[in-house]
């Protein structure tokens, strides 16, 4: 993905950025990797899910050395780091998975990791996806 | 160390969805939301999460935001007034650097916690 200046500004405006960081890359900007991804670039566990019934449980962004910079290009790798089942508070099992996206700059530096915990629809009777 | 308020509007939700590329219709289409079992369209959780990101960045742009994580605790809705806060959780030395850990929260006008989170900001000499 390319980190485009106009997209950075659009994202900042949507996130209420008003100060001196208006032209810098927002710490949540890499969610826009969604625009650069196609179904066949995803691992099977992340395809064909019912998006409207999914819930986002947690989200983390880690930047070991620096935030992304306007104008740079990343090679992104999407994987399922973890998949597990948890008992829901209201009974029934919840299916969770942790989607990891790694953002590597053109010089090979790992600039960012995005981890999303995604809660899938409740398991139907007799269904076992494990 | 920092606070902020946001009134959730449909406009803000749609604007964030367009900017982010998350076009899940349950956040802007009441019919789809109701068919999915919700009373109506609700806020895309990453909008308040991103506002927490803004809060931390604008607090000290000279620090390096090394890690930010949020947990979505309950949904928020158009018309909600959300209060965001970042509070000091810990300060530690990491070699020559100073690591400041912040606790993050987003609370609805009802008092319900909508998001919690934490951020690590590194200050280099």
Q: Does A28 contact B at CB distance below 8 Å?
A: yes
How close A130 comes to chain B (CA, Å)? Answer: 25
The predicted model scores a pTM of 0.90
Contact B50 A35 (CB under 8 A): no
Q: How far apart are CA A130 and CA B43, in angstroms?
A: 31
Q: What is the rounded CA–CA span in Å between residue A63 and residue A69?
A: 12
pLDDT value, residue A129: 42
pLDDT of residue A94: 83
Q: Is B30 exposed, middle or buried (0-12, 13-18, 19+ CB in 10 A)?
A: middle
Indicate which of B19, B35, B49, B52 best probes the interface with A, i.e. most A CBs within 10 Å of its own CB: B19
Nearest to B6 among A10, A16, A31 (CB): A16
- pLDDT per residue over A51-93, tens digit each? 667 788 999 999 999 999 999 999 999 999 999 998 876 667 8
Whether residues A21 and B61 touch (CB distance < 8 A) is answered with yes
Nearest Cβ partner for B51 among A15, A32, A65: A15
A37: pLDDT confidence band, cut at 50, 70 and 90?
Answer: confident
E strands in A42-120: 55-62, 74-87, 93-105, 110-120
Neighbours of A89 (CB within 10 A): 7
């Amino acid at each position: 993905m390319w980190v485009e200046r106009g997209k950075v500004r659009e994202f900042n405006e949507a996130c209420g950025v008003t100060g001196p960081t208006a032209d810098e890359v927002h710490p949540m900007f890499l969610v826009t990797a969604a625009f650069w991804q196609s179904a066949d670039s995803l691992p099977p566990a992340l395809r064909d899910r019912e998006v409207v019934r999914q819930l986002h449980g947690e989200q983390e962004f880690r930047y070991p050395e620096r935030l992304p910079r306007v104008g740079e290009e990343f090679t992104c790798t999407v994987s399922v780091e973890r998949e597990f089942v948890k008992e829901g508070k209201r009974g029934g099992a919840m299916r969770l998975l942790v989607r990891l996206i790694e953002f590597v700059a053109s010089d090979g530096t790992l600039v960012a990791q995005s981890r999303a915990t995604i809660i899938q629809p409740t398991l139907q009777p007799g269904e076992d996806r494990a | 160390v920092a606070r902020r308020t946001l009134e959730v509007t449909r406009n803000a939700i749609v604007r964030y969805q367009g900017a982010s590329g998350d076009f899940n219709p349950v956040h802007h289409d009441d019919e789809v939301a109701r068919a999915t079992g919700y009373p109506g369209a609700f806020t895309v959780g990453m909008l308040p999460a991103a506002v927490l990101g803004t809060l931390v960045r604008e607090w000290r742009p000279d620090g390096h935001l090394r890690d930010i994580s949020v947990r979505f605790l309950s949904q928020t809705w158009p018309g909600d007034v959300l209060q965001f806060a970042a509070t000091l959780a810990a300060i530690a030395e990491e070699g020559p650097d100073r690591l400041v850990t912040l606790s993050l929260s987003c609370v609805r006008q009802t008092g319900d916690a909508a998001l919690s989170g934490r951020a690590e900001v590194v200050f280099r000499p």
